[in-house]
Structure 1
Amino acid sequence: MLVSALIRRVQDSGGFASVLHKGDAISGTILVQCLDKGKETGLFERISDYAGGYRLVACGPDKDGGPHLVADYIARRRRSDPDLWLIELDIVDAERLAVETLC
């Protein structure tokens, strides 16, 4: 439900959003790959804040390291966690929209 809401919100704002890997509907970890006009702006993971809520934290390699490093990181994460969701957002302020929707 959260993933669908995020995708609708990005598309309603004029951006592109896609599910690159569908995880477990109830307990899957959510990774959000943020782009702006096709350029990587960050990779974020939704994690518990241990106070009953969630937050989005940066994860993976430095975005300036190149797309192959991000792809390798995502492949490793998918191998170790088959329940993982991978969502791609291509819009200005993708991180802000993800935080407002997922946290």
Structure 2
Amino acid sequence: MPADPRLTSAMLVGALRRRVTAAGGFATILVKGDEISGVILVQTLEKGLESGLFERVPNLDGGYALMRCGPAPTEGLEAMAQYIARRRRSDPDLWIIELDIPEAERFAVETIC
């Protein structure tokens, strides 16, 4: 039996970028990963201030969820940069997209999960 069709990582990231831009925010693809099935990290900001890092992960229902990952924003930019560098070394297929818009996490959940 064939697997259920699913959107590629590139399609999901592209849709998220377009949706945030259309709502007046900024979305930047920081790292392009594997076009088909790369893991997606979403770095969220509001008015340039770091608000979190989230990863799209499979859930028990067969769908996806957005889970907070990495250091807390209060730990500083250096801690975030080190975490991202470690993740990129261990997973070269990783996507990283930065969103600067109010309620960035909501945009990500509604679009890629």
Q: Give the TM-score range, shorter chain.
A: over 0.9
- Distance in 1 (CA, whole Å) between partners of 2:51 and 2:61 is 28
Larger-Rg structure: 2
- Distance in 1 (CA, whole Å) between partners of 2:109 and 2:52 is 13
Flag structure 1 segments of 5+ consecutive residues without an equivalent. Answer: none
Spell out the pairing of 1:12-51 with structure 2 (5 A cutoff).
12-51=22-61
Three-state SS of the structure 1 residue aligned to 2:61 is coil
Task: Give, as a single letter, the amino acid of the residue that structure 2 aligns with 1:90.
Answer: D
State, as a whole percentage, how many aligned pairs show the same letter.
Answer: 65
Q: Deviations over 1:68-100 (max 9, x none)?
A: 100110010001000000000000000000000
The aligned counterpart of 2:80 is: 70
Relative contact order (C-alpha < 8 Å, sep 6+): which is higher?
A: 1
Kindly indicate whether residue 59 of structure 2 is the aligned counterpart of residue 52 of structure 1.
no
The aligned counterpart of 1:99 is: 109
Task: Give, as a single letter, the amino acid of the residue that structure 2 aligns with 1:96.
Answer: R
Three-state SS of the structure 1 residue aligned to 2:66 is strand
- Distance in 2 (CA, whole Å) between partners of 1:5 and 1:92 is 18
Q: Displacement, 1:50? A: 2.9
Three-state SS of the structure 1 residue aligned to 2:45 is strand
- Distance in 1 (CA, whole Å) between partners of 2:17 and 2:37 is 19
Count of residue correspondences: 103
- Distance in 2 (CA, whole Å) between partners of 1:81 and 1:35 is 23
- Distance in 2 (CA, whole Å) between partners of 1:88 and 1:56 is 14
Alignment RMSD, CA only? 0.6
- Distance in 1 (CA, whole Å) between partners of 2:17 and 2:72 is 25
The aligned counterpart of 2:21 is: 11
